[in-house]
Structure 1
Amino acid sequence: MKQALIVQGGWDGHQPKEVSEILAGLLREEGFEVEISDTLDAFLDVDKLKALDLIVPVWTMGSITKEQLNPLLEAVRSGVGIAGCHGGLGDSFRNETEFQYMVGGQWVAHPGNDGVHYKVCIKDKNNPLMAGLDDFDVVSEQYYMHVDPANQVLAVTYFGETEMPVVWTKQYGEGRVFYCSLGHQANIVAMPEVLTIMRRGMVWASERAGRPEGGR
């Protein structure tokens, strides 16, 4: 049975507990054993982290000590997958540039705040993570982000003529990284399209070299 750790906390406005329960439910449906922690001390034991298949931070803003952060970075570099959504991964620990480098992006702004009606466009329809998905509309925060040009971008949105990544994958050392900027609150994570994207992305991130890729 695959092992996943969800670490929830930070700014309560993103409903970390509710979002964590949704993501944990998806993982359990995929056969994972899931531990949910509400403390960053869950990252202190590097050997425990390295025995996991997947880490899912749901922690907006806040601060993290080097003693907590370094084992997390080491575990992902060694091959443990990491996945997350919205500010729970893309706006965590604003002073930690190595964490941002691992994720592949960092939140900058959400013009119009919550309630913006925008479209998410599937960019790479040949990628298994996007298979069968069509462009869809969202009414929520529209994230404008600084992003790593090395990311493999799977879905985008637009600010005027500016294309902005919404879903991407990347590598950090041997670890797979998956990110989706959707998910301001639990009702957005619970959208059918977002559930599909998060399910597939988390399963994908959990696959280490030599294993067959999962997802559905």
Structure 2
Amino acid sequence: MADEWTLPIFEDLGFDVDRTNDVFALDADLTGYDLIALNWNNALLSEGLTTAQETSLLGAVEAGTGIAAWHGAAAAFRTSLKYHWLIGGSFLEHPAGEGVKYPYRVTVTDTDHPVTAGVKDFQVASEQYYMSVDPNNHVLAETTFTGEVLPWLEGMTIPQAWTRTWGRGRVFYSAVGHDLDDLRNPDVTRLCRQGFGWAARRGD
């Protein structure tokens, strides 16, 4: 499903794309890639990367390969702590329910970053992610919970998009994107397109 949205973006950015849904691709030498785009999520709490896969992925990013990830990537490989350290966060729950098109607002908190250039605050109807987030992230956008579903979450603010670095590599993550309708929101597409371009290996 995500191919319908990502491939035109990657084409516009001038990227040559290798596509796979085979997790064992992470066993290969990944250092030749400028960017690894992740939307893997099979929703298994017992799923994890092998030590070799973690070493390959983290080593490639440390050497300069970028990571661009969205939505379910923060719920993937739940037993691999180093993977979530790399991504910068870990999904905990969507209080309104799995797959529920719950309306919520995302507020851009850093309008001066190249990833958010021209991106306005936006409204989506999707899974509103409540996450555990690394304080070392550079937060770009956030959402505030109303407490409608869980009253004790009223006023709680959770980052929804951020950047970070890992060695020489750059990491971009956005929590929005359960459905194509969310991803096709012009501001979401712009945020992610610029995030993908920012995260890709630097020419220098």
Same fold (TM over 0.5): yes
Partner of 1:95: 79
Alpha-carbon displacement from aligned partner over 1:48-94 (angstroms, at most 9, x marks no partner) = x111100012211443322323211110111100011001x211100
**SS of aligned partner of 2:10:** helix
State yes or no: 1:168 paired with 2:152: no
Give distance in 2, aligned partners of 1:32 and 1:179.
19
Q: Which amino acid aligns with 2:180?
A: A
State yes or no: 1:39 paired with 2:38: no
State yes or no: 1:183 paired with 2:177: yes
Q: Which amino acid aligns with 1:208?
A: R
Partner of 1:104: 88
**Cα offset, 1:44, TM superposition:** 1.6
> What is the TM-score of this pair, normalised by structure 1?
0.84
State yes or no: 1:85 paired with 2:70: yes
Give distance in 2, aligned partners of 1:96 and 1:133.
32
Q: Which amino acid aligns with 1:64?
A: L
**Cα offset, 1:185, TM superposition:** 2.1
Root-mean-square deviation (CA, aligned residues, Å) is 1.3
- Superposition map of 1:96-135 within 5 A: 96-113=80-97, 114-135=100-121
Contact residue 129 and residue 201 of structure 1 kept, 8 A:
yes
State yes or no: 1:75 paired with 2:56: no
Give distance in 2, aligned partners of 1:208 and 1:137.
32
Give distance in 2, aligned partners of 1:78 and 1:44.
16
Q: Which amino acid aligns with 1:72?
A: L
Partner of 1:23: 6
> What is the TM-score of this pair, normalised by structure 2?
0.88
Number of matched pairs: 190
**SS of aligned partner of 2:112:** coil
Q: Which amino acid aligns with 1:90?
A: A
Which of the pair is proportionally richer in strand?
1
**Range with bigger deviation, 100-109 or 158-167:** 158-167
**SS of aligned partner of 1:43:** helix
**Cα offset, 1:148, TM superposition:** 0.4
State yes or no: 1:152 paired with 2:138: yes
Contact residue 20 and residue 58 of structure 1 kept, 8 A:
no
Alpha-carbon displacement from aligned partner over 1:108-148 (angstroms, at most 9, x marks no partner) = 01111222111100101111211222211111110000000
Q: Which amino acid aligns with 2:27?
A: L
